[in-house]
């Protein structure tokens, strides 16, 4: 009860039960209902990474109760069911029209507990996962090359059983329904869903390798930054430094790498999940050339030089951008947390963020508190934070086709 009261004080419209990581957020003015289910994962062994990718892909074919076409038909127009694997979680997202709460919850519960995972679904997932990403930028975000040949269906079924347990699962239902209804139905549908001991297999397939070339007409270069945790005392400093370095057109990346040096058209700093925190990633996309291998170091040197010349203008700009994007949804969002792209302000992403921050940091997502912490960062700390992000970052290049 105390936990429930605490949750109500922090987020008056949300009702949370402690046992099942379930939160409902009724919003009368919405015309849709979204159900976001996150399954927390862990730092997979290299050979497990391949298996979990196929598992998530295969879930797209639905469950014993809901086939893929049925799920599409049941979904609100423009809101296809999503199944996304990120380094720290699996996201299952379903959005339905107002009045279809039961359908939305039914689909999610069925997918969490009883995905089809037949051979046809697995083969389709392997075929899809074997294709390179649509764009060079997407390739850069997920540069692993997997070998799926040794995967067996029973391994995926076991992995599903191991991962998809109530204690690992965070669910938020947000949108147009009466208070209490979502929780009531969730409890009814999951009353027999209990955590259980499942042995984890040790071998799932070959470890992935890192891509270094592609057939795209674009080269990507990256500085893959150190791991940072939301519980770190200097997390706000590093987040603000990320904004100063690469978020917005007044950032170091845009001013220096693009405008001054004409090295790229697209360049960004993003915060990418890791199994136990986040990585600051600084990426640029450029026309392939003989100088590709040197791009990350060139980027590092240019950014380091710019950091040394930062003034209060850069601090103010970073804070302005962070405030606008975190609180108001104005400007680019570097938080690539939910589906491999920037978090949006639509209903599914709002619900996702609520579930995600509970899972990641054990608390309610409150951008006002976060921005207050960002306001306390001074210029010297900002510079130190920026240097800590880029000076030890690992260089990566995926060379495109010249």
Partner 1 sequence: MIATLCAMTALIQTGQEFNWERANLDNGSAVIVQSLPNAKQISVQLFAAARGVQETPETHGMRHLLEHLLAKGVNKDLDRRIEAKGLFMTADTYRDAMQFEVRALPHQLRDAVDVLGEFLKEPKVTQEEIDKEAKILAQEFALQSSSTLLSSSAWTMGYGPAGLDPMGTLETLSKATPASIAQLYKKHYNPANLVISIAGPITAKEGIDLGQKLLAPLTGTPAIDWVRRPAGRSARGDAEMAKGSACGAFVSGYSEGETAWTIAAAFGVVTEFEDSFFLYTPSLQNGLVVVGSAKARDYISKIDSLSDAESMGLFRQGKINARAWLRNRLNTPSGAAYWRGYLGCQALGARPEYLLDNLDRLTPDQFRAGFENLKSGKAVEVVGGRL
By the criterion CB under 8 A, which residues form the site for partner 1? 72, 77-78, 80, 131, 134-136, 215, 217-218, 248-250, 254-255, 258-259, 262-266, 285-287, 313-314, 316-317, 319-321, 323-324, 328-332
Q: Shortest approach of partner 1 to residue 85 CB, angstroms?
A: 18
Helix (H, G, I), strand (E, B) or coil at 394: strand
- Token pair of 352 as six digits: 């996702």
Nearer to partner 1, 182 or 321 (CB): 321
Q: Shortest approach of partner 1 to residue 281 CB, angstroms?
A: 18
**Contact (Cβ atoms closer than 8 angstroms) between residue 62 and residue 111:** yes
DSSP state of 334: -
Nearer to partner 1, 78 or 362 (CB): 78
Nearer to partner 1, 150 or 375 (CB): 375
**Contact (Cβ atoms closer than 8 angstroms) between residue 53 and residue 160:** no
Nearer to partner 1, 188 or 316 (CB): 316
Q: Shortest approach of partner 1 to residue 278 CB, angstroms?
A: 23
Measured CA to CA, the distance from residue 234 to residue 220 in angstroms comes to 29
Helices (H) and strands (E) counted in the chain, each on its own, are: 15, 12
- For residue 392, CA distances in Å to 287, 296, 346, 385, 389 come to 26, 12, 36, 12, 7
Nearer to partner 1, 130 or 276 (CB): 130
Measured CA to CA, the distance from residue 235 to residue 245 in angstroms comes to 15
Q: Shortest approach of partner 1 to residue 63 CB, angstroms?
A: 18
Please provide residue 395's backbone torsions phi and psi, each rounded to the nearest 5 degrees. Answer: -80, 145
- For residue 9, CA distances in Å to 2, 5, 20, 175, 301 come to 11, 6, 20, 20, 47
Q: Shortest approach of partner 1 to residue 259 CB, angstroms?
A: 8
Nearer to partner 1, 111 or 228 (CB): 111
- For residue 83, CA distances in Å to 188, 284, 298 come to 24, 27, 37
Nearer to partner 1, 19 or 134 (CB): 134
């Amino acid at each position: 009860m105390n936990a429930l009261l605490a949750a109500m004080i922090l987020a008056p419209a949300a009702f949370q039960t402690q046992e099942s990581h379930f939160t409902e957020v009724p919003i009368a003015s919405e015309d849709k209902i979204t159900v976001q289910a996150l399954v927390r994962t862990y730092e997979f062994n290299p050979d497990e990474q391949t298996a979990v990718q196929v598992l998530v892909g295969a879930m797209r074919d639905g469950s014993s109760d809901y086939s893929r076409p049925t799920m599409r038909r049941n979904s609100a127009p423009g809101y296809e069911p999503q199944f996304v694997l990120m380094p720290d979680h699996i996201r299952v997202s379903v959005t339905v029209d107002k009045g279809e709460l039961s359908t939305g919850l039914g689909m999610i519960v069925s997918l969490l507990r009883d995905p089809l995972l037949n051979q046809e679904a697995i083969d389709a997932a392997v075929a899809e996962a074997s294709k390179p990403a649509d764009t060079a930028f997407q390739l850069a975000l997920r540069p692993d090359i997997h070998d799926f040949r040794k995967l067996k269906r029973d391994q995926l079924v076991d992995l599903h059983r191991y991962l998809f347990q109530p204690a690992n699962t965070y669910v938020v239902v947000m949108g147009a329904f009466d208070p209490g209804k979502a929780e009531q139905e969730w409890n009814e549908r999951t009353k027999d869903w209990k955590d259980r001991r499942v042995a984890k297999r040790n071998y799932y397939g070959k470890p992935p390798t890192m891509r270094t070339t592609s057939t795209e007409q674009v080269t990507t270069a990256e500085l893959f930054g150190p791991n940072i945790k939301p519980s770190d005392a200097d997390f706000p400093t590093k987040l603000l430094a990320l904004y100063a370095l690469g978020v917005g057109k007044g950032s170091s990346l845009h001013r220096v790498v693009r405008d001054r040096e004409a090295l790229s058209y697209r360049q960004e700093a993003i915060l990418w999940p890791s199994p136990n925190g986040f990585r600051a990633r600084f990426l640029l996309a450029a026309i392939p050339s003989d100088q590709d291998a040197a791009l990350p170091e060139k980027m590092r040197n240019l950014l380091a030089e710019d950091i040394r010349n930062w003034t209060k203008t850069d601090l103010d700009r970073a804070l302005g951008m962070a405030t606008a994007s975190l609180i108001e949804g104005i400007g680019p969002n570097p938080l690539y947390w939910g589906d491999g792209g920037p978090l949006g302000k639509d209903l599914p992403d709002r619900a996702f963020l609520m579930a995600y921050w509970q899972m990641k940091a054990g608390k309610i997502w409150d951008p006002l508190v976060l921005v207050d912490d960002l306001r306390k960062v001074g210029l010297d700390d900002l510079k130190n934070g920026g240097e800590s992000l880029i000076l030890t970052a690992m260089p990566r290049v995926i060379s495109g086709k010249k």
